[in-house]
Amino acid sequence: MKGLLLRLSALDADAATAVRVIAHFEALLGSGALDATSLARSTAGLAECAAGLELPDGRRARFGPGGAALPAEPKVVSQDAELGPSGRVWLERPGPPGPFDDLILEWMAIAARTLCGSPAPPRMPHASLTPRTPGSREVADPALMEVVLSERESDHDRARALRLLGLAPELPLRMVAVRGDPAVDAGLDAVALLGRATLDAVVRVTRTGPWGTVLVQPPDGAADSPAAALRAAVADPLRGAVADPLRGPDVPRDAARRLRVGVGGLAPGLAAQDSWRQACTALRFAVAGSPREAVVDHDALGPVALLADIPAERLGALPEARQLDALATQPNGCLTIAALAAFCRTGSLRQAAAELHLHHSSVAARLAHVEAALGWRLRDPEHRFQAQLALYARRLAAAEVNRALKSSP
């Protein structure tokens, strides 16, 4: 947990605080010595305001942020959470609620239910207590997300899981797949990315297998794709400037931008698995680096998405894909491939150079190298189309992506 917190702190302060809150209560629950006094005292210290609880069996506890016991009856309750017909937990914060008070209360309630001996609800940080509000982003329970995405579950169970996540089963949604550095928890990458994105939607994020799994439900079923906002989040210069604690402070700027994101199409709430499959397909077309390449929208792929139905082995065996692989292994080969991709996408030498932050003569030299190696004339639309297909084939054949696909829901 300490290593994950270090990584997340470097990426997004709010996400790191959320994980610290969760880690605090998980440590309490796993200590074997949880009681009403320790729960109320530790929560008050964590929230930096008075906190209290009243259990259905009559036990009460109330403490100030400094650890001093307070009279049982609270003065002013800023927020509370019910524990059933005769119990509750609460915070007493002067002024407006803190940004993580809902999260703290949800986990305090989970711990209090454990004290009562009653089964706690699934662990999902304040998803069930938070109203469905556009712009809210919550860390979700992976088990609930798996139910939402499962084809084996009934519509009733999927609808219940959506409601427990704070979502509306009757409204459409989109799934987003996030893949970052394989050495780092993909859920943390997804939390950091979504914490930076500006989405007018209810967002739930977790990790499912090797994926960062994101559910986005726009208000009133709006069809707008979150792809543009996610590209802006990937392009955030703060992310590129972060030193990677897993590799030391001298990692090049571009090495920090390892995220790839696939955005699924809009689907009915009870058919989220359809959007998830599209998101995973879109992710196979994504390449870390340029935000335009790193975030792929399945809707924008159109008929190109059908290439993903071709077995990866056949795509990787294409001579042009192998030649591009060989070019990529040469000095600065990855930049050569990036120049080719940018030119194929824009059709303009200067636009490609601007996107890559290179001089146009540098891009021209790299494209000339590609033309000499593969026999293409990239100003010819037919040859440029062949180059784009070869680039797609190389991406879809990537071994790491396809290994991850086999373990996806």
Give percent of the chain above pLDDT 70.
78
Q: Which CATH superfamily is domain 313-399 in?
A: PucR C-terminal helix-turn-helix domain (1.10.10.2840)
Q: How far is CA 176 from CA 171, 223, 266, in A?
A: 17, 14, 11
Residue 278 pLDDT grade (very low, low, confident, very high; cuts 50, 70, 90): very high
Query: Identity (one letter) of the amino acid at 297?
Result: D
* Helix (H), strand (E) at residue 79: strand 79-82
* Helix (H), strand (E) at residue 340: helix 333-346
**pLDDT (mean) for 29-40:** 77
Q: How far is CA 210 from CA 108, 125, 181, 185, 264, in A?
A: 29, 21, 10, 8, 17
Task: Please give the class, per CATH, of domain 137-309.
Answer: alpha beta
List of E strands, 112-218: 137-139, 174-179, 202-208, 211-217
- 48-57, 248-257, 318-327, 373-382: least confidently modelled range: 248-257
Q: How far is residue 194's CA from residue 125's CA, in Å, rounded to a whole number?
A: 16
**pLDDT (mean) for 291-298:** 91
Residue 125 pLDDT grade (very low, low, confident, very high; cuts 50, 70, 90): very low
pLDDT at 174 over 90: yes
Q: How far is residue 387's CA from residue 323's CA, in Å, rounded to a whole number?
A: 11
Q: Where are the domains of the chain?
A: 2-116, 137-309, 313-399
Q: How much is the pLDDT for 14?
A: 56
Burial of 9 (0-12, 13-18, 19+ CB in 10 A): middle
State the DSSP code for 151.
S
pLDDT at 249 over 50: no
**pLDDT (mean) for 33-55:** 87
Question: Considering only CA atoms, which of 85, 43, 95, 84 is closest in space to residue 64?
Answer: 43
Q: How far is residue 231's CA from residue 294's CA, in Å, rounded to a whole number?
A: 8
Question: Considering only CA atoms, which of 266, 252, 47 is closest in space to residue 175?
Answer: 266
Q: How much is the pLDDT for 29?
A: 74
